[in-house]
Amino acid sequence: MLRLAGIAGGVLAARPAAARDDACIEGRTVRWLVGYTAGGGYDAYARLLEPFLEKATRARIMIQNLPGAAGAVALRTLAAARPDGLTIAILDGPGALWSAAANEQPTPDLARDLTILGRVARLQHCLVTGPRSGAKTIEELVGLGRRRRLVFGATAPSSQNFVTCTVIARIFGLQVDYVVGYPGSRELTLALLRGDFDAMSLSIESGLDAIGPDRVIPLLLVTPERLPWPQLQAVARLTGDGGLAGRRPDLFASEPAEVLELGAAIHDYLAFGRIIAGPGGISVALRRCLEDALRAALHDPGLAAAAARAQRTLAVADAAQARADVDRARAAVTRILPISAAAARRTR
C-alpha cells in the first residue's frame, strides 16, 4: 500500500507544469496532430510551420500523423485531450463543419468542443479541365455543357472537390453526371489527364504542379482574390473585381443575386481553411499565451519566405478572426448542403 502511494505521489509530482494553467509551454513537448498521412497538404503546412512555432513557444513540437476517417480521428483525439496546451492540431475546418452538418458521424463542435487558435491558410479551389475535353476556357466548357451532359470527377460526395463542382454546375445551369470514388486528388488529376471526365475542382496548392499546356487547364477560380502564381493570372474568377459574375451574366443560369450569394457561400466555406486548434476548456491565460505564440510564428518573415519557396500560400488569421469565421462558414455550409446532397443522391 505504501509502495502504491509512493508511485501515485511520484506520478502526481511528475505532472507537467503547464497543467497548472498558470504557465505556458516553454521547455515542454507539444504533440501536434495532423489528421492526414505524411506528405499531404496538411502535413506540409504543419512541417512548414513547425520550426517557427518551436521558436515562438520555445517548446519542442512533435508532429504526429493520425490519419483516419477523413481527419475525424485526429479531431476526436484533440477534443478528448487534456486542456494543458500540450496537444494542438491542424484541422480541415470546412471538412469538420461539413461532417457535422451532414450528420455523417458524431463530430466535435468546432466552437464548443475545441479552442481555435488561428488559421494558417485558406483552401482555394479551381475548376480545371484536361486536354481531352475540347474546352480551354470556362466559356467553352459552358458552351459544351449546353450541347451535352458533362461529366465531372470527384473523390467522394462529401469531398470539397465534389461540393465545389455541384455549386458551379448549379449556377451555370450545367447538366452534370459525376464519377466519384477516386482515392485521392492525385488519382483524380491523372484521371482528368486520361479523359475519364470533362472537369473537376482542384485544390490549387496540391495541383499547381500539374497545371500546364496540354495538361491540367485551369478554367475558373472560386475565389474573389487575385492569386500570386503566374500560371493563374489569366484565369477567370467567379466573383470579386472583374469576376465573371459581374462581367458575363449571360453565362449563368442563376439570377445574378444567386450567383453572388452562392459564390460567396462556396468561398466562405473553403476560406475557413486550415485552422490550428487545441482542445476545449483551455484556461484564458494559457489560451492567450498559445495564441500569442502562434501569431508570432505565423508572422515570422522566415515562414513567409519558406512558404513562397514551397509555393504554399499563407492566409493567416489570429484566433479572434478565425473564430469569427466559424459562423460565416457554418452559414455557407447550410446554404450549399442541399445542392450537394441532391447531386450526391443522384450519383449514388
Options 51, 224, 240, 281; binder of another protein; rule CB under 8 A? 51
Minimal distance, residue 191 CB to another protein, in Å: 7
* Residue 58 Ramachandran class (φ > 0 left, ψ -120 to 50 alpha, else beta): left
| Edge-to-edge strand ranges of the sheet holding 29-34 | 60-65, 29-34, 87-92, 274-279, 114-121, 317-318
Interacting positions 56-95 with another protein (CB under 8 A): 63-69, 72-73, 76
Interacting positions 299-328 with another protein (CB under 8 A): 306, 309-312
Binding mask 137-156 for another protein (x = CB under 8 A): --------------x----x
Contacts of 64 (CB under 8 A, 6+ apart): 31, 32, 33, 34
Compare residues 27 and 195 and give the one whose CB is closer to another protein.
Answer: 195
> Is residue 210 at the binding interface for another protein, with CB under 8 A as the rule?
yes
**330 HSE (CA, 13 A, CB side):** 11
Calculate the dihedral angle through the C-alpha atoms of 256, 250, 168, 270, rounding to the nearest 10 degrees. -50
> Is residue 21 at the binding interface for another protein, with CB under 8 A as the rule?
no
Minimal distance, residue 223 CB to another protein, in Å: 21
Cβ-contact 199, 219 below 8 angstroms = yes
Minimal distance, residue 306 CB to another protein, in Å: 7
Is the CA virtual torsion 232, 182, 265, 131 positive or negative?
Answer: positive
Minimal distance, residue 143 CB to another protein, in Å: 20
| Edge-to-edge strand ranges of the sheet holding 150-154 | 176-180, 150-154, 199-203, 125-129, 217-221, 236-237
> Is residue 179 at the binding interface for another protein, with CB under 8 A as the rule?
yes
Question: Parallel, antiparallel, or unpaired: how do β-strands 217-221 and 125-129 relate?
Answer: antiparallel
Closest CA to 312 of 303, 299, 325: 303
CB burial class (10 A; 0-12, 13-18, 19+) of residue 345?
A: exposed
Minimal distance, residue 230 CB to another protein, in Å: 12
Options 24, 25, 30, 44; binder of another protein; rule CB under 8 A? 44
Compare residues 69 and 296 and give the one whose CB is closer to another protein.
Answer: 69
The residue type found at 280 is G
Options 108, 118, 157, 243; binder of another protein; rule CB under 8 A? 157
Residues paired with 127 in a beta bridge: 201, 220
Minimal distance, residue 126 CB to another protein, in Å: 15
Compare residues 64 and 321 and give the one whose CB is closer to another protein.
Answer: 64
> Is residue 55 at the binding interface for another protein, with CB under 8 A as the rule?
no
In order of 95, 177, 189, 247, the CA distances from 102 in angstroms are 10, 22, 26, 34
Helix (H, G, I), strand (E, B) or coil at 322: helix
Binding mask 273-292 for another protein (x = CB under 8 A): --------------------
Minimal distance, residue 341 CB to another protein, in Å: 12
> Is residue 196 at the binding interface for another protein, with CB under 8 A as the rule?
yes
Cβ-contact 132, 115 below 8 angstroms = no
Compare residues 5 and 233 and give the one whose CB is closer to another protein.
Answer: 233
The residue type found at 336 is I
Compare residues 17 and 156 and give the one whose CB is closer to another protein.
Answer: 156
User: Segment near another protein (CB under 8 A), from 22-30, 184-192, 276-284, 317-325?
Assistant: 184-192
Options 29, 37, 175, 334; binder of another protein; rule CB under 8 A? 37
Is the CA virtual torsion 190, 129, 263, 206 positive or negative?
Answer: positive
Residues forming contacts to another protein in the complex (CB under 8 A) are: 37-40, 43-44, 47-48, 50-51, 63-69, 72-73, 76, 104-105, 151, 156-158, 177, 179-184, 186-187, 189-191, 193-197, 208-210, 212, 215, 306, 309-312, 347-348
